[in-house]
Structure 1
């Protein structure tokens, strides 16, 4: 632009350049003389022209590196490792039960088969982790199968650099690549793909059969708070053991497992010390927490897992779990309430009248005979644990004989079965003494020292040995106990039966002919289990507490089952009376 000078014509200092002509004019339009605007456009620069170049630094861009510990397993690989830990823990549990309960050798084989069925019936079964991990290590290609013959190429070419191999692959023809594919074993690759199918892919055979596999949840879709479901917990191992006992018809109950867990005879609490170091090295804190339950599972929780597993096995594979061996378990329930053989026989007859379900799930038993359209196929509490059903049946018999409502029942005939049962006063005292004796035995096992002692040093030799043995089982790992043995250390407490409580001989109930007292079975009262404001008679409540403690359930659950059984008994009695009246 020209300097700020005045126009020679009008004296204006306002100048502007016209874009069309390139002339410089003042504010009045006078053209500035002796001004020239030149524009030079060059298409190509000669070799003598200097070019300015920007030099780039040779520094490479830093890639993002994860700060996670590579030794810890996450995702599907960590889940697969979690089930490996559960499987090893199951092997130790099987060895412990075989030694503690003197089980047959077939128990281990049955547990192995049930464990395989349990894994296949999970909502999201574990994937074939080794195959996918090897696939990721080989750059998305399946690993070379063992036994595959090497290629016929020159070994010197195979030892070339990666750039040379890329150039060779680009210059190679299609027939050479097909020859390499023909050298691999196609049948083995097919088997590997079938056994380790990716979660998102479905095989062609399943599509032809019309069976669509369940797509498992990926890591992003699965909620981290619900990654480990109840079926994946260590309680699932107890369900597998319980189902194996049912298969062999062993008369065990859920409280038996809880007792051996509390005595640390069965590896369940703090199981990380039972695993080898090369397995615990890859566990995250979430996996360790999932593997380490703080308390033994309850009876109803184990029963829910076991009944679900038995139902799925029957629906999926058609394998029917046999009924429970009820005769020995009924005798255990009778002895838990200090009963006699007469009480056992009466309870057995009443159980037949009540049509007790002795299967793990009510769907595994035959349906009830429907006389009318409104008749149900199953009863409520049909899915109750067998020990609860049996001891509730014993309670119903005791209630029929003694009343348990504060009023006295007296048999008036020698043919009454109540004459063979003990006197109620002595019987109730024996039940209380049995409950107190069991609590003292359990306290002697788990307490560090009795209350009367000021120090552990005041214990005698037997108590000190029992205390040291218990601490050894509860605190030390296997390698510090007995070397590298897989079987847990046997202790003296294993030979102490928990149910063997001494009892005294009781007198029989006397017969009083012509007595004004109520007879057994007369004025039978049914209490509503939903009545939270009402109270129970003292004698009745003591027996219910004893039964609930023995079965490992709450008192309300026993009362609910007892109410249903009593209504069922009343309906049967009315039907029998109607049938007799119609015959007459």
Structure 2
């Protein structure tokens, strides 16, 4: 058989370069047919081998082109609006929000779209150049007006702003849902947020440039404090640019829910109302931006601060016996704080009962935790990982069937026992704590040396000042409101200092008849609220 030397075959790694002709088709020495190479016999050249013609393969259809400029920006806003709708839909369908909630959030988003009018409107007649959106201002180009907070502008619609808009919509509707609960829903994936890019249709995703996709990617663990900051920025933006007047926090239901969640006696309710008047807390968002954001600017932080101060006054954390004057005072009962901490641990651990990871805790797992997991926990984690991180919009690999990864679309908690209803769990915890309240003997006012409720009040200026008996309460309160423990301690210390100044003014009025012009009068440290302190110097924060 005669062979002709040609190029390398290349099929299945074949390196053969010698070929033979069979029925007008070329084959390599190992039998691989060469695509696109054939010999056709022409009638005018009878008896010859004919001419060699190369048949070209049909060119594959090019993928969709990535958008740029105004077209990319319009698509990005459409994708963002789709994400916002998915979050509202989840809140209405899964969390029982009213149907009007979607309309309120839609109106807020419509106002926000007005700030991007110069990006989405058609160019004016006269043929302007194509606009390419960039986060960096270019020389000679006028930038739209933005709201500045701490040197940064709020020009891009960030992913955290979508949850912030949902919170502001609930805030306007007076729904008793706090930022801490929104953060918990994000962590539990009750509303789409983490890996939200998976829920965007692939044809829209492929046309977005990478710089836009990076805005929608969750590159770090979401924190409740980030949500607090985003909500504050959005409230200032809507107030300044559109004149939106946000109401005060819906105090009655929010206060009642917080008292129940913290398993406190209902007597805290009236004490909070009284302290609110004394401190002048409006429970509203600030009306103008400041150079330095303070924790007490947030309405929910003001509320939790009032609850903590009221608790310290009525049910202190020390072992000092304080005797009320009347049996009608709430201080006739004493909270067993060790039992309270045990009940809170039992409430927090109900989702991890039975050796489960717990919904919302999967994202907190690190490489060291894997070595201590049980087989059921590993299955639970891998099911969550599959549902949260694997992209099913891609074309399946032909070899994927050989490596099954388990059923898809299965809830990670399906294998465990049914989760106890949260309201029933809070009711059970509250019942456990209130049933163990200890009575305190009543002593009339005849004895002036008897310690009274509110005396020997201790202030904690830093997180390290918290005693072991008070730390669990502060940690739980910080988790409920969605701020760090150090931030909460600082906010409470600032409010206590403000309350001390009020007591000082009241004492000056009693002594001199006027609080002004009495700068020489020193504050008497024997007053009920200022008798004890964890440090020697007064708090100047």
TM-score (norm 1): 0.59
Q: Give the CA deviation at 1:399.
A: 1.6
**Where in structure 2 are the equivalents of 1:142-221 lying within 5 Å?**
215-216=142-143
Q: Which of 237, 253, 263 does residue 178 from structure 2 map onto?
A: 253
Cα offset, 1:231, TM superposition = 4.4
What are the ranges of 5 or more consecutive residues in structure 2 without an aligned counterpart? 1-61, 134-140, 145-150, 363-368, 395-408, 515-541
Counterparts of 1:331 and 1:492 in 2: how far apart (Å)? 30
**Inter-CA distance 278–239: structure 2 relative to 1 (3 Å threshold):** same
Give the equivalent residue in structure 2 for 1:102.
96
1:358 counterpart SS class: coil
Structure 1 residue matching 2:184: 3-state secondary structure: helix
1:558 maps to 488
Q: Per the alignment, in what secondary structure is the counterpart of residue 444 of structure 1?
A: coil
Higher strand proportion (structure 1 or 2)? 2
Contact persistence 2:255–2:303 (CA under 8 A): yes
Alignment of 1:454-533 (within 5 A): 454-456=374-376, 474-475=388-389, 497-498=421-422, 500-501=425-426, 502-503=428-429, 504=432, 505-513=435-443, 518-529=451-462
Pairing partner for 1:537 from 455, 460, 467? 467
1:47-91 alpha-carbon deviations (Å, 9 max, x no partner): xxxxxxxxxxxxxxxxxxxxx986112334323322211111111
Task: Give the unaligned 5+ runs of structure 1.
Answer: 1-67, 143-195, 200-213, 218-225, 365-377, 481-487
- CA distance in structure 1 between the partners assigned to 2:119 and 2:80 by the alignment: 15
Deviation at 1:328, TM superposition (A): 1.4
CA distance in 1, matches of 2:253, 2:230: 24
RMSD of aligned alpha carbons? 4.3
1:120 shift after superposition: 2.5
Q: Report the equivalent of 2:325.
A: 413
Q: 3-state SS of the aligned residue for 1:437? A: helix
Confirm or deny that 1:73 pairs with 2:67: yes
Question: How far apart in 1 are the matches of 2:360 and 2:171?
Answer: 30
The reply on whether 1:128 has 2:48 as its aligned counterpart is: no
Aligned CA distance change for structure 1 residues 458 and 82 (closer, same or farther; 3 Å): closer
For 1:252, what is the secondary structure of its paired residue? coil
Q: CA deviation at 1:112?
A: 0.9
Contact 2:461/2:493, CA 8 A, preserved across alignment: yes
Give the corresponding residue for 2:112. Answer: 118
4+ runs of 1 displaced by more than 6 Å?
196-199, 226-230, 448-453, 476-480, 488-495, 514-517
- Tell me if structure 1 keeps the 8 A contact 2:332–2:442: no
Deviation at 1:233, TM superposition (A): 1.4
Q: Deviations over 1:470-509 (max 9, x none)?
A: 56753577999xxxxxxx9999899865564322122243
Deviations 1:302-356 (A, max 9, x none): 2222222222322333221121212211122222321011122212221222121
Whether contact under 8 Å (2:332, 2:439) holds in the other structure is: yes
* Deviation digits for residues 233-288 of structure 1 (CA, Å, limit 9, x no counterpart): 11111111111111111111112111111111211111122111221121233332
Q: Does 1:394 align with 2:291?
A: no
Residue 234 of structure 1 is matched in structure 2 by 159
In the comparison of the two structures, how many residue pairs are matched?
Answer: 402
Paired with 1:544 and 1:447, the residues of 2 have a C-alpha distance of 22
Worse overlay, 96-105 or 343-352:
343-352
Q: State the shift of 1:291 in Å.
A: 0.9
Q: 1:411 to 1:269 in 2, by over 3 A?
A: same
Whether the aligned pair in 2 keeps the contact of 1:333 and 1:390 (CA below 8 Å) is no
